[in-house]
């Protein structure tokens, strides 16, 4: 329950922190730019704000300046520190580092980062976005989406009236070149080229459409050959070379995936060399009990890709792309693709459905050629 005083209100949040806010009119409230670890700190902010507002009313220039919203860099730093995921948990170390790199590299105190929130206009954002490295469209889109999310929180905090990030489509990366969908034959060649140590990982990536962090986090207990199910319950990331296990980023990532014959057979062969404990990792690096570093694994897959004749641009996630594309061609619905891939929204599943439609039109065009050729032969 919120605790009210003669000025403002302090409310306990589900995260265990406290929000302070005060009324600015009938039914209108203004929140502190950050939450507080204690109720005392929240009440202290309200007391300082009340004094500041009284000074503003009296015309004090310093008070007027202090009452304004914080500078963008300061607000972003607080946002990162306070951010929680959908389960109310703090950010993962890898996610926090990514966000901190956005702040350090792209929100200079001399430019956009040094502006107060209420100074930032759509024109300012467009100029900032134009200066981002267009040679890396995915990174550019992620940085923009990050800023848009932060400023959406500022709107919710009543620090600004509207979000100045209004560039249509800027938060979505567009592929510079289309990714060629691997054939089942190419996947089989890659699994053979990579060798027994990682062959099962190749099949899991393609035919169970798993992410690399999900594959390398698998334990013996996560694979049930009798029911032909692989249970995705966690993933792995690396911080300063140390493997960090944790649940998927979203609840959608926690899923049970039915395995086709080729995956079951690959795992039957692979499990012969895996420890008998339920916690034994399926794929182990040089350090006992730890998965291979992601770069070590990626390098091994890349070398195998070269030997099997795949393009130089091939990456492990192209296996997932191939599997989902073939599922779409086989008639899987958007909901089925979304559930199998662990997508939190149908947007990516719709992408594969769209690819299927393009493929269908291409097949129809080829059929036209065959029909036209046959008709010509009949006329003769």
Model confidence over 250-308: pLDDT tens digits? 888 999 999 999 999 999 999 999 988 999 999 998 888 899 998 999 999 999 999 99
> Comparing C-alpha atoms, which of 160, 179, 195, 12 is closest to residue 75?
160
pLDDT tens readout for residues 136-167: 888 899 999 999 999 999 888 878 889 999 99
Contact 103, 147 (CB under 8 A): no
Catalytic residue among 211, 270, 318, 356: 211
What pLDDT band is residue 356 in, cutting at 50, 70 and 90? low
Examine the domain organization and report whether 190 and 286 are in the same domain: yes
> Comparing C-alpha atoms, which of 243, 219, 244 is closest to residue 231?
219
What pLDDT band is residue 344 in, cutting at 50, 70 and 90? confident
- 320 flagged as catalytic: yes
φ and ψ of 31, to 5 deg: -95, 155
What pLDDT band is residue 70 in, cutting at 50, 70 and 90? confident
Q: Give SS3 for 139.
A: helix
Examine the domain organization and report whether 48 and 130 are in the same domain: no
Where is the domain boundary, 38, 66, 94?
66
- 343 flagged as catalytic: yes
Examine the domain organization and report whether 61 and 79 are in the same domain: no
Examine the domain organization and report whether 106 and 47 are in the same domain: no
Examine the domain organization and report whether 82 and 62 are in the same domain: no
Tell me what the mean pLDDT of segment 309-330 comes to. Answer: 90
| Structural domain total, the chain | 3
Examine the domain organization and report whether 303 and 220 are in the same domain: yes
CB atoms within 10 A of CB 157: 20
Examine the domain organization and report whether 190 and 298 are in the same domain: yes
**Cα-based distances in Å from 125 to 73, 89, 120:** 14, 30, 7
Catalytic residue among 99, 102, 144, 352: 352
Domain assignment present for residue 197? The answer is yes
Where is the domain boundary, 271, 293, 313?
313
Q: State the Cα–Cα distance between residues 321 and 337, nearest whole angstrom.
A: 11
Domain assignment present for residue 177? The answer is no
Domain of 290, in residue numbers: 184-313
Examine the domain organization and report whether 148 and 198 are in the same domain: no
Examine the domain organization and report whether 205 and 294 are in the same domain: yes
Helix axes 72-82, 93-106, angle to 10 degrees: 180
- 211 flagged as catalytic: yes
Domain assignment present for residue 325? The answer is no
Examine the domain organization and report whether 103 and 209 are in the same domain: no
What pLDDT band is residue 67 in, cutting at 50, 70 and 90? low
Domain assignment present for residue 32? The answer is yes
Tell me what the mean pLDDT of segment 95-110 comes to. Answer: 91
Least confident of 59-68, 113-122, 133-142, 305-314: 59-68
Domain assignment present for residue 326? The answer is no
Quote the pLDDT of residue 64.
Answer: 46
Tell me what the mean pLDDT of segment 84-100 comes to. Answer: 83
Domain assignment present for residue 308? The answer is yes
Catalytic residue among 320, 321, 340, 356: 320
Catalytic residue among 317, 354, 361, 366: 317
């Amino acid at each position: 329950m919120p605790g009210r005083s003669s000025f403002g209100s302090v409310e306990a949040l589900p995260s265990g922190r406290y929000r302070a806010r005060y009324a600015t009119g009938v039914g209108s409230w203004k929140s502190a730019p950050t939450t507080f670890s204690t109720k005392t700190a929240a009440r202290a902010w309200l007391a300082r704000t009340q004094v500041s507002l009284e000074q503003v009313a009296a015309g004090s220039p310093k008070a007027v300046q202090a009452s304004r919203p914080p500078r963008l860099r300061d607000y972003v730093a607080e946002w990162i520190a306070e951010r929680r995921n959908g389960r109310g948990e703090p950010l993962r170390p890898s996610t926090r580092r990514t966000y901190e790199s956005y702040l350090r590299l792209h929100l200079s105190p001399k430019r956009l980062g040094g502006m107060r929130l209420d100074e930032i206009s759509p024109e300012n954002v467009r100029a900032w976005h134009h200066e981002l490295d267009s040679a890396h469209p995915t990174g550019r889109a992620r940085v923009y989406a990050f800023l848009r999310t932060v400023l959406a929180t500022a709107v919710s905090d009543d620090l600004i009236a509207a979000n100045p990030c209004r560039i249509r489509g800027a938060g979505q990366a567009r592929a510079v070149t289309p990714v060629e969908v691997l054939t089942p034959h190419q996947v089989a060649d890659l699994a053979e080229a990579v060798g027994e140590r990682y062959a099962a990982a190749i099949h899991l990536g393609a035919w169970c459409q798993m992410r690399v962090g999900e594959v390398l986090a698998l334990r013996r207990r996560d694979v049930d050959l009798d029911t032909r199910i692989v249970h995705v319950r966690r993933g792995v990331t690396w911080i300063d070379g140390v493997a960090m296990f944790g649940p998927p980023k979203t609840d959608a990532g926690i899923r049970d995936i039915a395995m086709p014959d080729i995956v079951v057979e690959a795992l039957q062969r692979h499990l012969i060399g895996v420890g008998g404990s339920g916690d034994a990792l399926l794929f182990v690096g040089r350090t006992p009990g730890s998965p291979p570093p992601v770069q070590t694994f990626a390098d091994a897959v890349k070398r195998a890709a070269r030997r099997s004749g795949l393009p130089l641009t091939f990456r492990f996630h192209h296996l997932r792309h191939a599997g989902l594309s073939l599922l779409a061609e086989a008639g899987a619905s958007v909901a089925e693709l979304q559930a199998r891939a662990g997508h939190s929204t149908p947007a990516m599943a719709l992408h594969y459905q769209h690819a299927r439609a393009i493929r269908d039109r291409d097949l129809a065009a080829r059929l036209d050629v065959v029909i036209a050729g046959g008709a010509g032969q009949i006329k003769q």
